[in-house]
Structure 1
């Protein structure tokens, strides 16, 4: 599994528009084979930073999603919406491999 974290710098005066855009992807990513872990919106602290987390079974599956979304009319409409609303100033993506299974104290070997 590979997880993508997107760090958005958003326009705090256009938070409503960004939330509409985010809600689209909450629905669309699962439709395209991924698992969405949600958006984390500004609350306390910086008012212009939001995070998004989603996963695909493999990097190949993520790359297939990225290719398919450029041919998907709904995805193109979502990008057009965000561009016209100017709610996103910039974004960065990073990829991680989730660690989901805990260890017992015995496994620490101490």
Structure 2
């Protein structure tokens, strides 16, 4: 299984979640986050914004679903205007999963 973490623009969250649900990937954890990318924030006029609001979406999927989920997130979260700040997707292996209520292993 794979853990997918996607940091995306807040205004893209609804579309990404809708597209994931329509593709039968409804299980997502969403967290408000703040940070900056390589550009070290954004300057608007004379004001420099060092911490930009983003959303972190986390989900665990089967190995064979990883590429489909990445494609959905990428397509849905991209602004299309070629500017920086659309986000990043991070993939990592999941070694074990347990359901808290039953204690059962899901792998």
What's the TM-score once normalised by structure 1's chain length?
A: 0.50
CA distance in 1, matches of 2:68, 2:89: 19
Deviation string, structure 1 residues 48-71 (Cα, Å, up to 9, x no partner): 354111232x1112224446x4xx
CA distance in 1, matches of 2:88, 2:70: 16
- Counterpart of 1:62? 66
CA distance in 2, matches of 1:65, 1:90: 15
CA distance in 2, matches of 1:40, 1:85: 25
Residue ranges of structure 2 left out of the alignment (5+ in a row):
35-49, 101-107
Work out whether residues 32 and 56 of structure 2, in 8 Å CA contact, stay in contact via their aligned partners in 1: yes
Deviation string, structure 1 residues 57-90 (Cα, Å, up to 9, x no partner): x1112224446x4xxxxx74x355x243847254
- CA-atom RMSD, angstroms? 3.5
Equivalent of 2:81, from 79, 84, 89? 84
Residue ranges of structure 1 left out of the alignment (5+ in a row):
9-17, 70-74, 103-110
Moved over 6 A (4+): none
More strand by share: 2
Superposition map of 1:39-54 within 5 A: 39-42=30-33, 47-48=51-52, 50-54=55-59
More helix by share: 1
Equivalent of 2:29, from 35, 38, 57? 38
CA distance in 2, matches of 1:53, 1:83: 23
CA distance in 1, matches of 2:83, 2:29: 21
What's the TM-score once normalised by structure 2's chain length?
A: 0.51
